[in-house]
Amino acid sequence: MYTDKVLDHFANPRNVGELTDANGVAEIGNPTCGDITRIYLKIEDNIIKDIKFKTFGCAAAVASGSMLTEMAKGKTIEEALKITDEAVAEMLDGLPPQKMHCSNMAAEAMQAAIENYKEKLGA
């Protein structure tokens, strides 16, 4: 059902945790399945210097959060905003159709965290 990459990111998630000095934070939940992802961003000079995530959910949700953080770290805000749910799933070598909402949640949480950052700046 899951690819080797999904299983690896689920068993060995990257960038798990919280950032106490985050300047962008957001949480997205999926009421249908109960999964929740929270993204923490540390942005400096328009670059995502650090990113962490916490997920309560299935293997696909955890793997999607892990992969998203790997994809976004070091990117500019503009580059990070171009990371789509489809791109996350593609980097995981695919997700079952019934699990695509899991990658949507990770990308949406990061986009919301960037918006939170922008709101704090007054932008």
pLDDT digit string (tens) for 2-29? 999 999 999 999 999 999 999 999 999 9
| pTM, entire model | 0.92
- pLDDT tens per residue, range 24-69: 999 999 777 788 999 999 999 999 999 999 999 889 999 999 999 9
CA separation for the pair 102, 47 (Å, rounded): 25
Residue type, 78: E
Residue 58 annotated as catalytic: no
The one catalytic residue in 6, 91, 92, 102 is 102
In contact, 14 and 104? CB cutoff 8 Å:
no
The one catalytic residue in 7, 8, 29, 33 is 33
User: String of b and e for 50-75 (b: at least 16 CB within 10 Å)?
Assistant: bbbbbbebbbbbbbbbbbbbbbbbeb
CATH of domain 2-117: 3.90.1010.10
